[in-house]
Amino acid sequence: MSEIEDLEIQLLLEALYQRYHYDFRHYARASIKRRLTQARSQLGFPSISAMQDRVLHDPAMLPRLLGFLTVQVSEMFRDPSYFRALREKVVPHLRTYPSLKVWIAGCSTGEEVYSLAILFREEGLYDRTIFYATDINPEALAAAEAGVYALDRIRKFTENHQKSGGRSSLSDYYTAAYGRAVFDKSLRNRVVFSDHSLVTDAVFAEMHLISCRNVMIYFDRPLQDRAIGLFRESLTRKGFLGLGSKESLRFSAHAAAFSEFAAEEKIYQRREP
């Protein structure tokens, strides 16, 4: 039973790649399997193969499946100590550049983008920065661009912002209406939102800071190496790479190309070539 399901999963992932160029073939298998089994039962298919049949013939099915395949869990200033380290240790280096480029890879619904935009504004760097916010899920990108979050999440966001060393009140950056918080347009006038896959796409600009958090845990080792290779190529000399709090370069083929800059907070710096 489980073996057949493994085969069906492999075929479905291959079908998604051949038909839509979404490549999940080298994602960490255990969690993708869990989410596909969930998708099968929640969408009411008798088998993974039946789901494959539908998605091949009906493009409208694709976004629904993507919703299961890509995990959209995020939070503003998630792990405040990460943002505090950026503020206290990385920002002083960034200040020395006349203009800056920041890449938020796997930005999901935008919480991380607004966190960085606010941090850069508070530190006086916003106006000289261009932010690239990328993801493979179009619905997530649209939500990121809209910048609207449920009001009941704001308490946690505010608490995190304060713990990250926030110099202002989070409420300065949004308007509350109808149970939702709408973040200020001025926080995204320097943000470019775009579709980019760490699995299939190439480097597109030279960055001073890349923040890629809780994305690569979903990849297998070779795929992690591909993504980290992209980051390595993309970073300026001595550029910074920030990962999620339980991610590291320890098991990566590119580990030697980076030094630990703030080890606890998983911030790395590209070594001189």
Ligand X SMILES: C[S@@+](CC[C@H](N)C(=O)[O-])C[C@H]1O[C@@H](n2cnc3c(N)ncnc32)[C@H](O)[C@@H]1O
Binding site for ligand X (CB under 6 A): 70-74, 78, 105-106, 108, 111-112, 135-137, 140, 197-199, 213-215, 218, 244
Q: Side-chain half-sphere of 248: how many Cα atoms within 13 Å?
A: 11
Long-range contacts formed by 173-177: CB under 8 A, 24+ apart = 173/114, 173/118, 176/151
**Under the criterion CB under 8 A, does residue 156 sit at the interface with another protein?**
no
Backbone angles phi and psi of 36, in degrees to 5: -70, -35
For another protein, the binding residue among 11, 34, 127, 263 (CB under 8 A) is 34
Rounded to the nearest 5°, which phi and psi values hold at 176?
Answer: -95, 135
Question: Site map for another protein, 50-79, x if CB under 8 A?
Answer: ---------------------x-x------
What lies within 8 Å, CB to CB, of 258 at 6+ separation is 232, 241, 249, 268, 269, 270, 271
Number of residues this chain uses to bind another protein (CB under 8 A)? 21
Distance CA 151, CA 157 (A): 10
125 binds, among another protein, ligand X, none (CB under 5 to 8 A by kind): none
Is 35 a binding residue for another protein by CB under 8 A? The answer is yes
Residues 6+ apart with CB under 8 A from 273: 237
Distance CA 164, CA 46 (A): 47
Candidate list 98, 179, 250, 273; residue touching another protein; CB under 8 A:
250
Closer residue to another protein, CB minimum distance, 22 or 68 = 68
Among residues 59, 246, 264, 271, which is the contact residue for another protein, using CB under 8 A? 246
Q: Which is nearer to another protein, 23 or 225 (CB)?
A: 225
Q: Which residues lie near another protein (CB under 8 A)?
A: 2, 28-31, 33-35, 71, 73, 214, 217-218, 221, 224, 244, 246-248, 250-251
